[in-house]
Structure formats: structure tokens, C-alpha cells
Chains A and B, each alone.
Chain A
Amino acid sequence: MNTTLRRLASVVMVMFLALMVSTSWVQYVQADKLNNDNRNVRKIYREYGNARGPIVVGDQPVAASTPVDSPFGYQRVYADGDPQRAQMYAPVTGFYSLVNGTTMIERSENSFLNGQADALWVSRLQNLLTGRKTEGSSVELTIDPAVQQAAWDALGDQRGAVVAVEPSTGKILAMVSKPSYDPNVLAVHSTREAGAAYQELLNADGNPMTNRAISTHYPPGSTFKLVDAAAALESGTYQADSSIPAPHRYTLPGTRTELRNFGDEVCSPTDEMSLADALRISCNTAFADLGVQLGGDAIREQAEKFGFGSRFEIPMSSAASNYPAAGDAFTPDRVALSAIGQGDVATTPLQVAMISAAIANGGELMQPYLVQTVRDPSLEVVQDASPRKVRDAVSPSTASALTDMMVGVVRNGTGTAAQIPGVDVAGKSGTAQTAPNTPPHTWFTAFAPAQDPQVAVAVVVENGGTLSNEATGGRVAAPIARAVIQAVLGR
């Protein structure tokens, strides 16, 4: 019997080997696939069970995880549960929800917030050795709470967005979108409550969960004339004082459509005026003709230098702003309409702010960003953002000329409402038609002080805001831009 016993022992050994292989197969070979399976609730528990790092603005957390007595361990709380403040920061923080997913900074900085980023390996190794739980890192934003508050208050109950950028670095100082929402109601753990809150916001008037500053396309209106002017100056054939045609009415080439100025005004008694004056009073007919003279390709090239056609990763992706592609459909009449920011041109508020910022920064377009510093739980700096130049959008001389022209807009043009005593403000208004019998979207973009720019800002107020059909960029949006600039400059 001993022979068979030995054989049986070999069989037993094979059985054990099979078990060791199958166990290793599950826990080592297939582990990644299993861990990332969508049905694996451990993925969620694992994330929720660890303390997620806070999102910090100024010195205050605007999103933080607090321990709760539930299987998930932690509850994400925004702005200490203050609904007003939570709404003010919601377009930036986004939400972190078991049921509804994750958006904005919560999403794009997720690997730092949950402590799983590659850069945090030292911290994770320490945790492994000491037996501590993984903790998330804190993410400190570039947002200035005073500027954010000023923008939030100035926009009031109107729908729209405000973006403020530091021109020399690209730091985003404020990003406001209205209407907004309270992310706290989406972050509750109850599937039913969170799901219902999400549905309610989805159906709510004005898409409150959309971050208009980076995700919504608007016709830029007359703010796009900055691009035309830049293209004209860069072409070398035009200077700020070059005289350009400024007819009372302009017939779009190849059509019978007559283009008029705002209020059917006459730009110049001589039907000619300088480029600077055309920008100052925002003469549509002059810029439509200038656009056709420059051609769609030259304007597109200039627009793309400012960032059109590509997304800004701030780190969440903004929508790319559009200038029409070359082609048979892009006829001179469309070029003329695009030149005054109507027709096929569409931009995000962030893009408009970046145009001003590039002009303010001597022509250098800086990469806009929201995340300044990432610190691990022991407060060691893991990542610190440094300003990065994207490209030269215009030459320094063009930038300087454009700055002077924009100062003129605020001094005695369409943007006088943005004047601040003792400060040279450079700006440009915009009033964009959307549909017949609908109040226009009003714009204002500016930077200040003109000689040493600290802030560039873009404001859009949808459908004329409280002024409705009476609205122009200069009346509705310029005061908001002024309030934001004042908050930055401390006046």
C-alpha cells in the first residue's frame, strides 16, 4: 500500500499546487483587471474609506472630507456646508458623488485627492511601513477668495460667467458661473437622495451644473474685434492710426444684406476713421470691411495664436473656442460677420479673458491654471505650479498698441463704465446678437493697470441680464469687470 500512498501524496501535492496557482492567478495576475471592474464596489469603498484631501482656497478648505458613521467612512462637505459659499465655488470644485460621479477639480485632481497619484509613492510607502491608512493630499487653488466673492456679488442674479486671470502667470484668480448649485446635495451617500437631487438639477432652468466659464460657447460679439485689430497690426500694413473705411452701412460681399452699426449710428462723417477710433467706438462696418481685407485665414491664424481651436487644460479641459475653418462655405460675407464676432465664431469666457491677458502680458499667452500647490498629508509640497508660456500671441509692439487702443475704449469709448479713478483700465465691450427678439449677450473684457497689468478679466452676462433689450456690454458687463479689477487692486 505504500506505493499507492506515495502516489496519492503526489496527487495531493498536485492538488495543492493547483490551488496555489489559482490563488496567485486571482490575486496577482488578474488583480488589476478585477480591481478595475465596474461592478467592483470595493473601488468606491476603497476611495471613500480613505480620507480624501481638501481643496483649499486662500487658507480655507472649500471641499473637505469629514469622518461619518457610515460604511463609507467619510462624507465630502463643500464650504463647511454653507450653501451660498458652496455655490460660489461649485463651478471650480465640482462635486464628488457616489451616485453621480465626479466633476471639475474633484475629477481632474482625483489621484492627488485620493492619495493614489504616482508622485505620492513616498507617502504611500511610509503608510505601508507604518500601517497608516492612505490619506489624500490637499490641493491649493490659485483662486483669490476676495476676487471670487467680488465677481460672485457683482454678477448678482444675472446668468453668465466671470473669469479673472493674472496675465503674467496665468493664475486663475476667479471663476464664477451663474446659476450655480450646491454640491453638498449631490454628495450625500444615499443613492435615492443624491439621484433625486441630480435629476432636479438636470431639469432645472439654466443648466446650473454647467461651468459656463469654460464649457459654454457664446458669440464673442465686439470683443472679437481685438483679434481683428491684432491681425491687422501683425500684418504690418496697419498701424493704430491707419485710416480704414467706416461706411454708414456695409453690404456683405456677394449678398444684398446690409450690415448696420449699433443703433444704425454713423461711425464717421468722412466714412473713414483710424483703426484705434474704430475699436474705441466699436464700429461694426469698419471691422467687417477690415476682416474681408485681411481675409479669413489671417484672422483664423491670429485667433489660434490666442488659443482658439484648442482646449485649455486648467487642469479640467475647457471647450475649444471656434473660428470657422477655411472652405467653400466660408465666403467673404461670412468672414465679415465673423470679424464682428457674430455668425460662426464661438468662444468661452475663459478664451476671451486669455485674449486680454496675452495683450496685457506683452503678447505672451500664459497657460491658465487653477491648481497652485499639492501637499501630501504631512504638508510636504508634492507639486507646485510654475507659470508656463504657451506662445507669443502677438509681438510686444502690437501688444503695446492694442493696450493703448483698449485704454481709449475705457477712457472715452464704449467702456467708460469700467473706469476706476487713478487707474488706467484697458478694455473692450461686446454685445452679441443671438436670435431675433432675444436680448443680446453682453460682454466686457479688460485688464488693469494698463502699464503694469495685475488682472485680466472677461465677463459675459446672458441675454442682457437685468437690462434685457436695453443692454450693451458697456452698460451691463463693464461694471462687473470694474468690480473684479477693484477687488484685485484693492480699491
Chain B
Amino acid sequence: MSALENVHGAPVEDERGATVAPRQRRPLRIAELFLLCVALTAGVGAFALVHLSLDGALPGSFWAQSLSLAALALGAHIVVRLRAPWADQTILPAVVLLNGLGLAMIQRIQLSGTPGAEGANAARNMQWSALGIILACLVIWFLKDHRLLRRYTYTAMIVGLVLVALPLVPGIGQRINGAQIWIHVGGLSLQPAEFAKIAFAVFFAGYLVANRDTLALAGKKVLGLQLPRLRDLGPILIVWGASLAVLVFQRDLGTSLLFFGLFVAMLYLATERFSWVLIGLLMFGGGAFAAAQAFPHVGARIDVWLHAFDPEIYNRRGGSGQVVSGLFGMANGGLFGTGWGEGYPYLVPFSFSDFIYTSLGEEIGLTGLLAVLLLYLIVVERGLRTALGVRDGFGKLLAGGLAFVVALQLFVVVGGVTRLIPLTGLTLPFMAQGGSSLLANWIIVALLLRISDSARRPSALPVRGQVGPGRKATGTREEDGDDAYARGGHEPDVETGARVVSRPGTTPTEIVRPHGDQGGDR
């Protein structure tokens, strides 16, 4: 583990074998503060370069904008320090940097003033970013324990399904560029699916943590695969149906893929059964294939993907012109990019939202894009690390699911614009212009920070058969049977409370994190 870990890891290590309660010294989060300063410098620097390159001068509002971004980021840092002091220290700086670079690129495209850049609105996106950060702070402040969310498992399912269905409601639903994924309320255009992915992650985590045994163990074994019982398939069929409905009625391959991928991943996490992954992939693959046959717009996407440079498909309306134009932009950037404001990213339709990745590729080059991918990788892997460390099953599933959904969304977007997979209409998290996406992803960051605080907080567990010193967590643990299970890492029918007693050598600190890497695993 990194040096960052030792900020609070060290005192815990000292407690090894001690009979006193672990010292609860809060980390000062110096690393996060330092990294935030680096991230803000890079973000504001990009903003300044854009203005210097395109206008030759900084606008009057430059310092006000930069300082408000810095104030928001530092405000978030203070909120985290107060309310989730043990939380991971790299997630927030990484996300602030991504958000800052995204804003700089949107500003750059807006400043180009070309017809294709009319949709770019950096100031508006700055407001959404601010709102997202504030929302994240509120979640961290008021959601004291992520396990509280488990109470709303089925509420979350209904919220998720309603959100998915909203764009189909006449009057508020909006069809933009062929996809019916928008709603229009009070002058705002929102993509409810962005929020639905959080609701579904909460629902899946709650549902799976309660039903994982049935899903994992009941059923016959065929050809080495543990097949589930038919009656356990119900909720899975619902999700499959919802995903295909999104595909069919809203013409949105990306969101459909995102929901189903999230569900399959969490199903696998919970049941440890590969058969579920296989069944899930077959079902989605079959559904998507049928859709490609039945619906011309899906089939056309496949054509565009496979034969992008074919002149006929290139020139076709709704053909590969956009993808290829994005590839031209990236190629123009080459290894080091043209520099901020020096390229022609605005030539690509939606260069500020769906295709912001190619815009960045053109101006900051392959080097810059690899750095951006690594920033996402940090966020995702720290999210998964949080899932490893957290002690309750619900938290594991939720953190794992949320981290994976960010990775999957990135994969679908970047894979789409680089022609790794067919292009779909998802937005690049934290960077692309779009209020819904920013708000939803900032909420995900807040949830990950909240869970990681819980994962890394040294807990005073019972020592040598005694009941612990009665922290708040004790009460929660009693009402949450899975917590104890997760700590032991064994099948739930093994009584874990007894295990601790039966192994007197196991010290509390070892259970928390013996070598900083084992989490609660066996």
C-alpha cells in the first residue's frame, strides 16, 4: 500500500496486540489537500491556456471563475475532512482534475464560435459542476452511514424503473438525435438514466446481498456450471426486460448496455457464480442481435462500426461521418496534441459532449488522453479497493457496482469513439457537457467516499470474546447480519460472532486490515 495509507495505518499497526481501544486519530488528509492543489493548478492552467491561445488574454472573469472552482473543491475537501475523515484521499483530486479539464475543453470549443460549437456552454456546465460538488457534499454530510440506503432497496428499484420510463411519458419526454432519453422539465433538459444507474446500483446491492445464497447455491449443475432455479430468475428477467425496453423504445444502446452490464457484474460479485455472467451475456447478446435485425437504427450502428471508412456509409446521413471526423481529430493530435486552442476539435459534431474525448485527444494528444484514462483508472480502482476494504456485504456490492459502472460507462464511450465497439450515445463521466451526468457522477463520488470512510475507519471490534466499546457501528451491526458475515468472509451459515471468540489470536486490528491489503477476507 502507498504511503498515503500509512497516515492512518501507522497508529493502527501500533495497536497490534494491545488491549486498549485503538486511538482514533483522524487523518489530516494532507495528501488529498496537496493533490487537490495539483489538480486545481492543472485545471486552471488548462483554462488559462485556452484563453491565452484563443483570445491572447485572460478574461476579466478568469480569476473569479478559477477561485470559485478552487473554493468548491476545497469546500468539498473540508466537508470530507469533517464528515468522512478516513475516506480515500485520491478520488476527490482525480475527479476535480477531470472536471476541470472537461470545463476547459468546453470553454475552448465555445470560444471557437463556429456553427458546430453553438451548443457548448462552459458557464452553464460550471454551474452544474458546482451543483454537483454541493450535492456530493450534502450526501457526505447527511448520509452518515451508507448502510442506511439498504432500507430503500425496493424503493430504489421503483425509482430506477420510473426514471427509465420517464422519457417515454408524453409531454415531458424529448427525442434528441433519435434517442428518446431526455426529459424536459421547467426549462431544463435532463437524462434520467444517469440517475437511474445509481438507483439500480442501490437496488441490486440490497437485493443481491439478501438473495445471494439462493442465487448461488440453489439449482442444478450442468457441464460444470451452476445453473440457477427458474423461479430465482424473476428479478433478473425484469432487469433484462428493462434494458431491452430502453434499447427498443428509447433507441439507446449505451444506457441499455450500462444497466445490464452493471447488473451482471454485481450478480457475479454477489454469487461468485460465473454461470450468471454467461447467462447474462447470452441474454443481452441475443437481445441485442435480435434488435440489430429488427430495428434499422441498431443495425446501422453496427454497419458504421464495422465499415466506417466505406465511402457509402461515410456519406450516408447518420452514417460514420461523425466517428471518422472524431478519428481525424485524434490523429491530428498525434502523440503530444496540437496544444490548447490550436486544433480543430469543433469540426466534430457534439465535440463538447459525446465526442469530448476526441477533442481532448486532438489538443492534448495521446499523452494527455493516457493521463486522463489513468485518472479514471485511479477513481475506479480506488472504488474497487473500497469495496474490498468495507466490512458489510451491502457496502461491498454498492461500492463495487458504482466503481464498475463508471468504468463501464467510460469503456462504452471511449470504445465507441475509438471504434473498439459500436458507438452509443453515453457521456464521458465528469468531462462531457451535461448537467445530469455531472450531478449523477458527483453523487457516485460522494457514495464512494462515504463507503471508503467506513472501509478505512479503524473500528473498535470486540477483543478476546468481549463486546466492543460500543461505538455506533455496534448497533448497526446487530441489525445487519451480513456485516458479520462479510467480516469473516465465509458462507453465511457459519456463525461469525462465534468465530471471533473461537480464535483468540485474532486481534481487532488484523480484522480491520492486517497488512493493509487483506481487508476482511479470510
Chain A residues with CB under 8 Å of chain B are 1-6, 8-9, 12-13, 15-16, 18-20, 22-28, 30-35, 37, 39-42, 45-46, 49, 71, 131, 133
CB-CB under 8 A for A26 and B373, given A5-B396, A6-B388: no
Contact call B420/A2, Cβ cutoff below 8 A: no
A42 and B415 contact, Cβ closer than 8 Å, known pairs A2-B520, A8-B269? no
**Contact of B9 with A by CB under 8 A:** no
The answer to the question of B509 belonging to the interface, with a C-beta cut-off of 8 Å to chain A, is no
CB distance from A253 to the nearest CB of B (A): 59
B contact residues around A24 at 8 Å (CB): 366, 370
With A and B bound together, what is the CA distance between A133 and B410 in angstroms? 33
User: Contact between A8 and B361 (Cβ–Cβ < 8 Å)?
Assistant: no
Docked complex Cα distance between A24 and B361 (Å) = 10
Query: Given A24-B366, A28-B366, do A16 and B373 touch, yes or no (CB 8 Å)?
Result: yes
Known: A16-B377, A42-B344. Contact between A22 and B419, CB under 8 A?
yes
Contacts known (A12-B407, A16-B407, A19-B415); A39 close to B314, Cβ less than 8 A: yes
Is the CB of B254 closer than 8 A to any CB of chain A? no
**Shortest distance between the CB of B282 and any CB in chain A (Å):** 18
B63 to chain A, nearest CB (A): 23
Can you name the residue of chain B whose Cβ is closest to the Cβ of A131? B339
A19 pairs with B373, CB closer than 8 A: yes
Most buried by A among B314, B330, B333, B380: B330
B442: which A residues are within 8 A, CB to CB?
Answer: none
CB distance A19 to B339 under 8 Å? no
Do the beta carbons of A12 and B342 come within 8 Å of each other? no
* Min C-beta distance of A9 to chain B, whole Å: 5
Closest to B271 in A: A4
Contact A16 to B376, CB < 8 A, known contacts A4-B272, A23-B418: yes
A16 to B377, CA, bound (A): 7
* Complexed CA–CA distance, A295 and B373 (Å): 77
Interface residues of B in 381-416 (CB under 8 A from A): 381, 384, 387-388, 393, 396-397, 400, 403-404, 407-408, 410-411, 414-415
29 contacts between A and B (CB under 8 A): A1-B396, A1-B397, A2-B519, A2-B521, A5-B384, A6-B388, A8-B384, A8-B404, A12-B380, A12-B381, A15-B411, A16-B373, A16-B380, A18-B415, A18-B420, A22-B415, A23-B330, A24-B370, A26-B330, A26-B419, A27-B365, A28-B366, A30-B327, A30-B331, A34-B330, A37-B309, A39-B328, A49-B344, A131-B339
- Interface residues of B, Cβ cutoff 8 Å to A: 114, 265, 268-270, 272, 309, 314, 324, 327-335, 339, 342, 344, 347, 361, 365-366, 369-370, 373, 376-377, 380-381, 384, 387-388, 393, 396-397, 400, 403-404, 407-408, 410-411, 414-415, 418-420, 486, 489, 519-521
Give the residue name and chain of the A residue nearest to B406 (CB): A12
Q: Given A1-B486, A42-B332, decide whether A19 and B400 contact each other with a Cβ distance below 8 A.
A: no
Chain B residues with Cβ below 8 Å from A28 are: 334-335, 366
CB neighbours of A27 from chain B (8 A): 330-331, 333-335, 361, 365-366, 369
Among A6, A16, A41, A131, residue most surrounded by chain B Cβ atoms (within 10 Å): A16
Which interface residue of B268, B333, B361 has the most chain A CB atoms within 10 A? B268
- The answer to whether B265 and A8 touch across the interface, beta carbons within 8 angstroms, is yes
Residues on the B chain within 8 Å of A42, using CB: 328-329, 332, 344, 347
Q: Is the CB of A26 within 8 A of B384?
A: no
Q: Please determine whether B400 and A8 come into contact, CB atoms closer than 8 angstroms.
A: yes
Q: Give the docked Cα–Cα distance between A3 and B397 (Å).
A: 13
* Given contact pairs A12-B384, A19-B414, A27-B330, A5 touches B369 in the complex (Cβ within 8 A): no
- Closest chain-A Cβ to B308's Cβ sits at a distance in Å of 11
With A and B bound together, what is the CA distance between A5 and B331 in angstroms?
Answer: 36
When C-beta atoms are compared, the residue in chain A nearest to B520 turns out to be A2
